[in-house]
Amino acid sequence: MRLSARTGRRLVAGIPILWLLVLFLIPFVIVFRISIADVRLAIPPYTPLVSWHHGAGHLELHWDAYQFLFTDPLYVSSYLYSLKVAAVSTLCCLALGYPMAYAIARAGPGTRPLLLMLIVLPFWTSFLLRVYAWIGLLNNNGVINNVLLYLGVIRQPLALMQTDFAVYIGIVYSYLPFMILPLYANLEKHDLALLEAAADLGARPWRAFLAVTLPQSLPGIFAGALLVFIPAVGEYVIPTLLGRPDQLMIGRVLSDEFFENRDWPVASAVAIVMLALLVVPILLLQRLERRQLGAQ
Amino acid sequence: MRSRRLFARGALILGLVFLYAPIVSLIVFSFNNSRLVTVWDSVHSPTLKWYGTLVHNGQILDAAWLSIRIALTAASCSVVLGTLAGFALARFSQFRGRLLLAGMTTAPIVMPEVITGLSLLLLFVALEQLIGWPRGLGAVTIALAHITFCMAYVTVVVQSRLTGFDESLEEAAMDLGARPATVFLRVTLPLILPAIASGWLLAFTLSWDDLVITQFVAGPGSSTLPMVIFSKVRFGVTPDVNALATILVLIVATGIVLSTIWMRYQQRRRERDEQLAAAANL
């Protein structure tokens, strides 16, 4: 069978588009549709979109789930807490990742691939097990407390587990490569002649950094920050294993609504509101990436 | 200049310690005799007993086997779909749905997994109601879900590789009268084969590793390895998980070292070929 070039191109682009439409985009429509249904004891556990009375169809729209979300303080505080945790973790990631990316970008050409590999390598090992490892480090009888007790720095074990601190550690640890890689890609391209020019003009190193390097690296900073911030808002595993039991993040709330309370409409509404919060960051990231690919 | 570089070096070393210390501690304590994982029992350690219990743990072995089968399927299918998408995005200048495809391949990478998981589950439930397929949740729905988020990663890998290549080779083949399909199979595909290979490996690892999305779309009775591990570690540390982690880290490390050696070899061969070609031209 010989396909014309046009048909071939249509197939090449069409197959993945079709796949993603069905398995990525349309599901969001279904989530929205269920978020405006009402719970009922049946399979599936929500009311149909159209109900039939006396031969006439009635559209069943229930906004109760959303109303519930915005009036129950549990949900509002979970959203705010998730945004705070994601923001703080992103800043910590940046504070640690920027100098690391900088050091790699300025290392010799021979050592750069090795350093990059060392950054990416943990990413290839199980995310779940790497988070699990922190339980062993942060526990009351964990490695950190044992070492500090042994050295006599502390007399009582520090309560490190099930704190905000543990969640920050977990997120920074898991998402650090996502911060470093775009930063490195940006920093590596910088023209060092500009820094020399700044030095020749008498700028002190830190001033030259602030005036030349930092502004140039802003796209890298934004890309890295968004790559960390967006998934961190909905993080489920890290807060469940390391976080506070009294303050849940919104990803955990969604999961609990679905699996424990079996309230599909509320779980869907939680997802839709989270998506609404993340739409702008996601679009920003896509714009950044398009521009970067265009520049290549 | 120097102080800044020293500071950056220090941060790099600190960061690398931060990245590797947990993994090292995981491995060290897998040889600890004590059930209290992190309290070193210096009298009876090191021991291999947790590795022994692992071999006889049917639940873990079954889950690992299921995870391997799903990861193989997901990686292989997502490589095909991802290569098509990456090729379309990198080589077709303008086509209808370009923006849509670009958006749908980058969004799954950052989308919080709980949202993706929930939406896929609701899709499968709706599909079953509408057309009677897929029948219930299980390995099939897990594989479909994994293919979807893995293909996004493969697309990015393939696309960035293709954008890096100039199109002159493909154009030359085209000028010599090769049909587009031939050009793709004989010229483009060999060029991007390393990207496809690393895309496949990445997809395999992501599928093998995924917990959250899998939990949503897995039915009762189909537990993957991460699901079994998660239910074990949810309430604290257990020594056999350390042993399991050590084995997995070892496999990954071996794989990375081998693939690095292979790529070095390929690169050296290519350089030699280029030199030979250059010499022949003289």
Provide the shortest C-alpha distance from residue B280 to chain A (in Å). 30
Q: What percent of chain A has pLDDT over 70?
A: 98
Provide the shortest C-alpha distance from residue B33 to chain A (in Å). 15
Question: Quick one: residue B37, left, alpha or beta (phi over 0 = left, psi -120 to 50 = alpha)?
Answer: left
DSSP A222-248: HHHHHHHHHHHHT--HHHHHHS-SSS-
Most B CBs within 10 Å, among A7, A19, A145, A278, to test the B interface = A19
Is there a contact between B141 and B74 (Cβ–Cβ < 8 Å)?
Answer: no
For residue A40, what pLDDT band results from cuts at 50, 70 and 90? confident
For residue B282, what pLDDT band results from cuts at 50, 70 and 90? low
Nearest to B226 by CA among B237, B215, B242: B215
Compute the average pLDDT of residues A94-115.
Answer: 92
| Pairing of the two strands A56-59 and A50-53 | antiparallel
Contact yes or no for B88 and A13 at CB 8 A: yes
Contact yes or no for B120 and A23 at CB 8 A: yes
CB distance from A34 to chain B under 8 Å? yes
Question: Mean pLDDT, chain B, as a whole number?
Answer: 89
Comparing B14 with A290, the larger pLDDT belongs to B14
- Residue B123 with chain A: CB contacts under 8 Å: 22-23, 26-27, 30
- Among the residue ranges A78-82, A163-167, A260-264, B42-46, the one predicted with the least confidence is B42-46
Contact yes or no for B144 and A268 at CB 8 A: no
Contact yes or no for A126 and B209 at CB 8 A: yes
- Residue A23 with chain B: CB contacts under 8 Å: 120, 123, 144-145, 147-148
Q: Is this prediction's pTM over 0.90? A: yes
Question: Mean pLDDT, chain A, as a whole number?
Answer: 90
For residue B199, what pLDDT band results from cuts at 50, 70 and 90? very high
CB distance from B111 to chain A under 8 Å? yes
Contact yes or no for B81 and A15 at CB 8 A: yes
Tell me, what's the pLDDT at A3?
65
Considering only the top CATH level, what class is A65-295? mainly alpha
Q: How far apart are the two ends of chain A, measured CA to CA in Å?
A: 37
- Each residue of B33-82: pLDDT tens digit? 887 777 777 777 788 888 988 888 899 999 999 999 999 999 999 999 99
Contact yes or no for B23 and A290 at CB 8 A: no
Tell me, what's the pLDDT at A294?
66
Contact yes or no for B22 and A240 at CB 8 A: no
Tell me, what's the pLDDT at B203?
95
Most B CBs within 10 Å, among A124, A148, A254, to test the B interface = A124
Tell me, what's the pLDDT at B274?
81
CB distance from A262 to chain B under 8 Å? no
Q: Cα separations (Å) of A88 from A15, A83, A93, A173, B19?
A: 40, 9, 9, 13, 19
Can you read off the two tokens belonging to residue B191? 């060029």
CB distance from A278 to chain B under 8 Å? yes
ipTM over 0.95: no
* Residue ranges of domains in chain B, CATH in brackets: 44-234 (1.10.3720.10)
Tell me, what's the pLDDT at A53?
73
